[in-house]
Structure formats: C-alpha cells, structure tokens
Amino acid sequence: MRTRSTSRPPLRETGHRPQAKHHTTLLSAAELAAGSTHYRILDCRAQLGNPHHGLEVYTSGHIKNALYASLDADFAAVPGSGGRHPLPVPEILRDKLRAWGIDDDDQIVLYDDAGGAFAARAWWCIRWLGHEAVALLDGGLPAWPHALTTEVISPAQGSFSIRPSLTKTIDATTLERDLDNRELIDARTEARWAGMEEPIDPVAGHIPGALCRPFQENLAADGTFKPAFELRRRFESFIDNPICYCGSGVTAAHNVLAMRIAGLAEPTLYPGSWSEWILNPERPRSTDTNSRHAL
C-alpha cells in the first residue's frame, strides 16, 4: 500500500553530512545510497510513444525519496513547429523544480532504466537553467542494489531559481545558414542516420555533414558509462564547437553528457533536431554514408 509523507527529507542530519563536492555528471549507486536522504532524486523513466509509461513504472516501485519527472510533461513543451520534444518554457520548468522541493544549493540525482537516454535530457535541461549540481545515477535503476518503495513523498516548496545557463543551443535558422562551417554529431542509430530505416519521423536521413555517434555506444556492457578516456577517444576529434542532435533533442543530450564526462568542452545542442529540421522541405537532407567512419 502506498503511503504519503508530508515532511521534506532533510538536507542535513546530525553526524552525517554529504560530501562537499558537487556531482556534475555521474555518481555511483554506492554514493547515492550513502547520501540519498540529502539528495533530490528524480525518476526520469520514460518510453517514447507511451507518455503514461514513466508514471506507471514509478508507481509500481522507485528509489526511496525519488519523485517522478516526466519527459513529455516536464522536460519538453507540446510537440509542434519545434519538433517532437521542444524545450520547455524556462519559468514553467523552474516552477516544477520548486514543486519538487529543490533549492539552488541542492544536489539533484536523476535516473532511468534506459541507459540514461531520458535522464540525460533532464540533466541537460536543469543545467540549461543554470544549476550545476545535477548528475545521473551511473547505470540507472538496474545498478541500484537496494529495495524499491511505493512511498511517495510530499516535499516542501523549494526556492530553485534560474541562473546563467551552463549549456549552448542553436536554432534551425542559424544552423542552416552556417551549415558548411559546423561539425554535427548525430546520436541516433547508424541505420536511422543513414536513412536505411526511420521508425519515428516521416522522413529518413540526416543533416548533411553530420557524423554518426550513437548514444548507446557511450555505455559499457553493464550499462554504466565508459571510462572518460574512452569517451574522449569517441569525441575528441570534434574540436570546433560541435553541434549535437538526434531525433528530437533527447538522446543528443546523452552525447553532451559523455563529452563532459570525457573532460571536453561543452558542445552545442540543437534542441529541435531531425524532427524539426524536416518540417521545412527546403532544408537539405542526406543519406550519404561516405563519412561513416570518419574520426
């Protein structure tokens, strides 16, 4: 039976203080377990095409003190001219973070069960609002060795504020105008990038000149992120402010995270991605695979 708590988990407990350092990319299950009562935890599980999935699995069991955060309702605006997952209105997302009890000095921890595909979008959006202390549970829910709960907490209102952004973005018009001078990284599978298949969007292919770096290849066999030196090897050739994109700006954030784990500079995100790009039939498209293995 689900129970409801009306108290907010404490940020400090006598004799137990969280580590002073902020986690800005990843933290392990052991680190989360050691400081779980001090962190603001968001369950970001989702399933493309099924907006009810995340809440259903959250209700059936989640990490203690975690609150549910929706990809479609919280970390995206209504689909339309900006693609399938446009960025949310900053002030609306700020208010949701406050409703989740989050303050400016809180450490936020995010997880999903899809290798970070959806949690990385939340990570990027929170950094977009200027909050640095946000990280993914490395390995996600499958890496969590402890029992789940159905208890849902009711946190006190937080005081989260919008601060100078830690991210970079580009819009479709600017990208198209300067396309020949930009390096692009496509996070979709090679089959979708090459135009061999397209299960979601009505047009197949990729933005001309984009190289394929599927986000799934940022992960080791156990679902945790690969070591920093391996991720650096994947992305270090992109030295001129690369632009990350995918189908709708969700899994592209996974590549942004991987590059930050690798110690590389913040890349630019094209939020609308392929789903917005193809809305204008005059924008160029490609299925050229000659640059498939370029590094």
User: What is the set of active-site residues?
Assistant: 246
DSSP letters of 42-66?
Answer: EE----TT-TTHHHHHHHH-B-TTE
Q: What does the alpha-carbon distance between residue 108 and residue 122 come to, in Å, rounded to a whole number?
A: 10
Q: How far is CA 80 from CA 47, 248, 251, 272, 276, in A?
A: 19, 11, 19, 10, 8
In the beta sheet, which residues pair with residue 137? 27
Q: What angle do CA 253, 66, 254 make, to 5 degrees?
A: 10
